[in-house]
Amino acid sequence: MKTRICLYLDRSRVFRWHLWLADTLAAIPAYDISIEFAPDIHPLPKYCFVLFGLERFVYGRQGRSAIDVVDHILRPGRPGQGPFNTVIDFSLTNDPLPDCDRILTPCFNGMPGEIGAITGLFGDGPLSVEILDDMRKSPGFSKSWIASPATTDRHIFVRSLDNLLSCAVGMIVKALARPSIPGERRVIARSPTPPMWALLNKVSATVIRKVVRQIDKVVYGDRHWSVGWRISSASLLDRSIAKFAVFPNDRAHYFADPFPVRHHGEDFIFMEQFCYASGRGCIAVTKITDNRPDRATVVIDQPYHLSYPFIFEDDGEFWMIPEAGASRGIDLYRAEKFPYRWKWEGRLLNNIDGYDATISRHAGRLWMFVCERIWKSSSWDELSLFSSDCLTGPWRPHPDNPILFDAVLCRPGGAMFVHNGEMMRPVQDCSRLYGGALSLCRVNTVDGNFSQTLRGIIHAGDLGCHTYNNYAGLEVIDIFGRTRDVKNGFPYVTAYYSPEKTNAG
């Protein structure tokens, strides 16, 4: 028997993200979807959409957004009356809901509805998406499913709402697939509508910020990613502070996502080379000789963006999985003649917007960590796991995918490694901004329930940092910002490692 699910909507607030959810649920054979509408309405103020339109005009944003109003919603299943197994309540109504066993209510920073998301974006604190799970047949009990989403630009409402509401779609699907567990009942706060002057001030500040960024770029030059390297037997994690020489960018390119390799006594760094003219990245390599890098040589180029050249050795050969999310797949390359000639060996996963795939071996199996982008979420905060008995697959999804929704602890930031007997996973901390810092997490379990524990933070002061690797003493990071200090003819940056004193996971 199919699980009967009702999307309970407000006729005045039927948005595109509701269509995304309906489409997603309709594709699951076990679900029978119905649509019903509350008798009362609680529309967003019209001036919200005027200001969203102004934002789109200022930033030239085109295309469909999560907050777009639609005049109909798909009815993917047979519409009908209750009782339902689950009602997903988008209505904000105080009237009785349709008869059901379970109610899921999307909340944003503790408040239900899209206005809760908008209100949450006014502050500078962390954001949350919460799916409150109320069990009608167990009065007094409920639980919640909580995510800490990333926003690609916190100051732009339309883009941020795309990220938050897309994350909510994934959270609802995850909550539906999991049985409820009794917990303490939560009281839902009803969020007030922000006054027009507050929204106007917010958008005005966004416009001013864009102008200031343009002036800053003209006066000081554009900030960009750069690659730092050092050769030492004592790692940053052992020293807590270290200086990294910076590979020189030029006016046509910048470099990021470094992965070091030592082969036959020679040191190489593979990295993303981003070309300003084409607007996309490719994979390049430089050889380090006498602690000085050669000119970068492109080794893999495609008509779509490539970055994060995750490189590893297996069965006596070198393999690479570059990030190629724009191609909707995860591809495998093999070194025909290391390090300059690579051959495409096949696609490991298809029809996935997957980013920064990173493979590690645990308990006799290969595990692939990859961040997914779903609808218009960021690609920073939804972590999925896949496993296989061999490198070429087949790769099977973890039954609990996405295993984690968290801007701090999801997106891979380098190859996994052993430090002080612990398996460590570098993770991009995108809670403040993309590439703000790196978290180092100890991996506890991958099979069954995934678990990790925060062990420390790598950062570069006021510069961004989102990749860390160390191969036989060739240690690399990347940094975002302007490097001004010069030593031995190269710019350099100082990086710091701060061990975590309390457990978090």
Give the Cα separation of 372 and 411 in Å (integer): 9
Whether 504 is covered by a domain: the verdict is no
Residue 312 one-letter amino acid? F
| Rounded (10°) CA dihedral 372, 376, 380, 384 | -20
Instruction: Please check the confidence at residue 355 and state whether its pLDDT lies above 90.
Output: yes
The pLDDT of 38-55, averaged and rounded, is: 83
The answer to which of 62-76, 110-124, 311-325 has the lowest mean pLDDT is 62-76
Residues 380 and 478 in one domain: yes
Range of the domain at 379: 222-499
Residues 227 and 183 in one domain: no
For the purposes of burial, counting CB atoms within 10 Å of the CB of 432, is it exposed (0-12), middle (13-18) or buried (19 or more)? middle
For the purposes of burial, counting CB atoms within 10 Å of the CB of 343, is it exposed (0-12), middle (13-18) or buried (19 or more)? exposed
Peptide bond into 394 cis (omega under 30): yes
Instruction: Please check the confidence at residue 18 and state whether its pLDDT lies above 60.
Output: yes
- Contacts of 57-62 spanning 24+ positions with Cβ under 8 A: 58/206, 58/207, 58/210, 59/156, 59/210, 61/156, 61/158, 61/159
Per DSSP, what are the bridge partners of residue 442? Answer: 424, 453
State both tokens at 391: 């490198």
CATH code of the domain covering residue 493: 2.115.10.20
Residues 238 and 387 in one domain: yes
Peptide bond into 426 cis (omega under 30): no
Q: pLDDT for 457-467, tens place per residue? A: 999 988 889 99
Whether 505 is covered by a domain: the verdict is no
pLDDT band, very low/low/confident/very high, at 223 (cuts 50, 70, 90)? low
Residues 147 and 261 in one domain: no
The answer to which of 133-142, 367-376, 404-413 has the lowest mean pLDDT is 133-142
How many Cα atoms are found within 13 Å in the side-chain-facing hemisphere of 68? Answer: 16
Query: What is the structure's pLDDT at 235?
Result: 94
Per DSSP, what are the bridge partners of residue 499? Answer: 456
Give the Cα separation of 379 and 356 in Å (integer): 9
Instruction: Please check the confidence at residue 491 and state whether its pLDDT lies above 50.
Output: yes
Cβ pair 459, 478 in contact under 8 A: no
Task: Give the CA distances from residue 483 to residues 296, 386, 461, 480, in Å, rounded to whole numbers and listed in that order.
Answer: 19, 38, 12, 9
Domain boundary among 172, 189, 214: 214
Query: What is the structure's pLDDT at 433?
Result: 74
Whether 154 is covered by a domain: the verdict is yes
Residues 235 and 269 in one domain: yes
With pLDDT > 90 as the criterion, what percentage of the chain qualifies?
A: 53
Report which listed range, 108-122, 285-299, 431-445, is most confident: 285-299
Residues 233 and 188 in one domain: no
Helix (H, G, I), strand (E, B) or coil at 58: helix
User: How many domains would you assign to the chain?
Assistant: 2
Domain boundary among 190, 214, 238: 214
pLDDT band, very low/low/confident/very high, at 484 (cuts 50, 70, 90)? low
Give the Cα separation of 153 and 124 in Å (integer): 12
Helix (H, G, I), strand (E, B) or coil at 16: helix
pLDDT band, very low/low/confident/very high, at 389 (cuts 50, 70, 90)? very high
Overall pTM surpassing 0.75 (yes/no): yes
Whether 127 is covered by a domain: the verdict is yes
Give the Cα separation of 380 and 249 in Å (integer): 25
Cβ pair 132, 123 in contact under 8 A: no
pLDDT band, very low/low/confident/very high, at 151 (cuts 50, 70, 90)? confident
Task: Give the CA distances from residue 8 to residues 40, 73, 138, in Å, rounded to whole numbers and listed in that order.
Answer: 12, 12, 21
Whether 70 is covered by a domain: the verdict is yes
Per DSSP, what are the bridge partners of residue 475? Answer: 230, 470
Residues 259 and 324 in one domain: yes
Give the Cα separation of 478 and 247 in Å (integer): 10
Query: What is the structure's pLDDT at 203?
Result: 56
Residues 205 and 350 in one domain: no
Average pLDDT of the chain? Answer: 84
Helix (H, G, I), strand (E, B) or coil at 144: strand
Residues 307 and 167 in one domain: no
Residues 158 and 233 in one domain: no
Domain boundary among 191, 214, 237: 214
How many other CB atoms sit within 10 Å of the CB of residue 504?
Answer: 12
CATH code of the domain covering residue 110: 3.40.50
Residues 180 and 248 in one domain: no
Give the Cα separation of 72 and 88 in Å (integer): 18
Residues 306 and 442 in one domain: yes
Instruction: Please check the confidence at residue 206 and state whether its pLDDT lies above 70.
Output: no
How many other CB atoms sit within 10 Å of the CB of residue 107?
Answer: 23
Whether 298 is covered by a domain: the verdict is yes
Query: What is the structure's pLDDT at 187?
Result: 42
The answer to which of 72-76, 180-184, 405-409 has the lowest mean pLDDT is 180-184
Cβ pair 15, 70 in contact under 8 A: yes
Give the Cα separation of 446 and 327 in Å (integer): 27
